[in-house]
């Protein structure tokens, strides 16, 4: 079961594409958009993250930090970030495999991957927006932007 609006966001510390640990707790005081995706280099995921890259100012201008999380190893994430010129951290939930995705209720046990879960965590650590899509179901990012606008209002 995934998280709902109002729930406390589970804390996590994960390595990014450069093996630098990023902790949700360290970002407290600012909203954070947490975007889970199945796999680096896959078609839908690449399209979603490139759209996020192209529209990143809609989030950063509102003071929102963006973190993308998959169960890929850091080496894949480093290559993916470089290839697509992504300007936000790609975090590896590789080991223990999918533990953070499990905590957010977006881990597909049979496939060993994260679902398309999107969570806007407010400055106090509560979920302000939550959406979970199936692996083949691309997300519409307009809902994320509306949630950011409401949070900023």
> Is 45 designated active site?
yes
d(CA 23, CA 8): 15
d(CA 141, CA 33): 12
d(CA 32, CA 145): 12
Give buried/exposed letters for 39-51 (b at 16+ CB in 10 A, else e).
bbebebbbebbee
Write down the catalytic residue from 22, 24, 32, 45.
45
CB 120 within 8 A of CB 33: yes
Residues catalogued as catalytic: 45
């Amino acid at each position: 079961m995934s998280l709902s609006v109002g729930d406390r966001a589970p804390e996590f510390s994960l390595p990014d594409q450069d093996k630098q640990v990023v902790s949700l707790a360290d970002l407290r005081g600012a909203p954070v958009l947490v975007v889970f995706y199945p796999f680096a280099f896959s078609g839908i995921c690449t399209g979603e993250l490139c759209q996020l890259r192209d529209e990143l100012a809609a989030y950063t201008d509102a003071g929102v930090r963006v973190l993308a999380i998959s169960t890929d190893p850091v080496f894949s994430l480093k290559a993916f970030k470089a290839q697509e010129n992504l300007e936000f951290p790609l975090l590896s939930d590789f080991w223990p495999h999918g533990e953070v995705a499990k905590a957010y209720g977006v881990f597909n046990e049979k496939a060993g991957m994260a679902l398309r879960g999107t969570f806007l965590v407010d400055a106090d650590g509560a979920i302000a927006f939550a959406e979970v899509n199936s692996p083949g179901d691309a997300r519409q990012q307009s809902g994320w932007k509306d949630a950011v606008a409401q949070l900023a209002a």
